[in-house]
Structure 1
Amino acid sequence: MGWSLQLKWLWAQKTAPGRPWAGLEIPIHPHARALFDISIITQVGNGRSTLFWSDRWLHDCSLGDIAPEVVASVPQRVIKTRTVEQALHNLQWVRDISAGLSLVGLIEYLVLWDLVSGFSLSDEMDQHRWRHDSFGVFTAKSAYRQFFQGSITFEPWRRIWKTWAPPKCKTFLWLATKDKCWTADNLRKRGLPHLDKCVLCDQEDETVQHVLVGCVFAREFWYKLFTMFGLQSIAPNNDVDTFANWWHNTSRRVAKENRKGVNMLIILGAWSL
């Protein structure tokens, strides 16, 4: 089961504890569990569906954030089952602490005592909110996105890999877009033999951007190619800075139903250059 679906199961257990399947145990990956634990914000009502030791219910924090040494002295079976309602009844949470505490642990215990002693329950149901959705409701899509926070996106991936062009042409465009082709500038960086000027125009340094859209011969090639299909208006001109930007803007100017064909034409044209 995918991690996002594992999170969906945890959400269902949290928000619908009365369902017959809610008590079933399924393997949950530690990364999925960790994301779920930091993504749920709970507003305690009657405390029956909120775990005292692990949920984030006290000032949007879990007790592990406030008193980690105290929580470490509580048995895992208690951490997984003790609800807020049970813990506050007759100070049951105090009796859950089974190991001795150090000086730091005692300080954490006193802080926790002050916070918990002033907390009172109500007759309303606990409210659990998924922080990654504007409505506070879990969706697998929002969970899936969280696993890729901080990742580097590659904007033209769809235009490259979702066309009808041959794989070798797609691979070339992928390398060209990332400026990884063996043009003179990249050869120079690595101390390898290279030409001083573009082999086509003999006017400017050879870079992948110059070869694809900057060279006068390249622009003439694109103009004649697009003219064959009545699309000469989208051919690159002197104002184009990079191939990727030109391709992005060109794709947006073409009707949606024609984009896949135009993208294939651009890939094949760049490959032939």
Structure 2
Amino acid sequence: MWISDIHGHLSPAAALEYFDLWCHLQVIVLSQEPDTISWRWTENGTYSASSCYNALFTGSTSSKHWRLIWKSGAPLSVKFFLYLASVNRCWTTDRLERRGLPHEPACVLCSQHDEALHHLLIGCVFSCIIWHGILSWCCPEIPVPDGTLDFLRWLSSALDTIAMEKRRGLSTIAALTAWSLWRHRNAVIFDKIAPSSASLLMVIKDDARSWAYAGAKGLSNIILVV
């Protein structure tokens, strides 16, 4: 088919693609050498399974604290929440405001400050009450976070101060507590419940025991399962 004939046989979009391909082919010079196959992800052009696996992650990013997130004994949904939190992708008030979306004027748990993820998980007065209640229950040697570090950096620092056999349990209970604070915040906004530290502490402790019964590794080293 000649270029002059394609208008009556192809759609406008297909005709443009055809013409673009034709232009690219004009500069190709064929030789008598046989064709060869070269794998672009290795220096010698030879395919390997490991180079293919590494190529899958080209351009990807990783969380600085990925081990704290993915190696805890928490369910996958909680780990995914922590990943979103690590890259600041949770829809807190500050993020909603930047995008011009409807949002609450202040943190719904304390009504004292603007809500940001750091504030919600570790800087809010309500959150501090929850952390104090949980840590005094299962890891009294760990100081309550004071807001000077973000959640994952505080957890990383706390893990360095306790015995090895307690570390996975602490990372799991910390993941549960952070996730429960997020869920409680959402229930206050969307279900119109009143914030309650007493009820949230009870929920977290009951969930921790259930996770331990279900086989969450490490939790039985820091909590009493009855």
* TM-score between the two structures when normalised by the length of structure 2: 0.54
Deviation at 1:192?
A: 0.6
Q: 1:177 to 1:32 in 2, by over 3 A?
A: closer
| Max Rg structure | 1
Gaps of 5+ in 2: 1-35, 182-226
Tell me the SS of whatever aligns to 1:206.
coil
Deviation at 1:150?
A: 7.7
Distance in 2 separating the partners of 1:227 and 1:29: 61
CA RMSD of aligned residues (A): 3.2
Distance in 2 separating the partners of 1:268 and 1:166: 9
Q: Is the 8 A contact 1:222 1:236 kept in 2?
A: yes
Distance in 2 separating the partners of 1:150 and 1:35: 22
Equivalence map 1:117-266=2 (5 Å): 152-238=61-147, 240-266=148-174
Q: 1:29 to 1:153 in 2, by over 3 A?
A: farther
Q: Is the 8 A contact 1:209 1:243 kept in 2?
A: yes
2:40 is equivalent to residue 31 of structure 1: yes
Q: 1:174 to 1:237 in 2, by over 3 A?
A: same
Identity %: 38
Deviation at 1:259?
A: 1.4
Distance in 2 separating the partners of 1:167 and 1:258: 21
Q: 1:191 to 1:149 in 2, by over 3 A?
A: closer
Gaps of 5+ in 1: 1-26, 38-140
What code does the residue aligned with 2:131 have? W
Question: Deviation digits for residues 211-242 of structure 1, max 9, x if unmatched?
Answer: 0001011111101101011435332024x231
Q: Is the 8 A contact 1:184 1:206 kept in 2?
A: yes
Deviation at 1:153?
A: 3.2
Q: 1:187 to 1:256 in 2, by over 3 A?
A: same
Question: Deviation digits for residues 9-47 of structure 1, max 9, x if unmatched?
Answer: xxxxxxxxxxxxxxxxxx99623432789xxxxxxxxxx
Q: Is the 8 A contact 1:224 1:232 kept in 2?
A: no
Q: 1:179 to 1:147 in 2, by over 3 A?
A: closer
- Name the structure, 1 or 2, with higher relative contact order (CA <8 Å, separation 6+): 2
What code does the residue aligned with 1:33 have? T
Stretches (4+) displaced over 4 A: 144-151
* TM-score between the two structures when normalised by the length of structure 1: 0.46
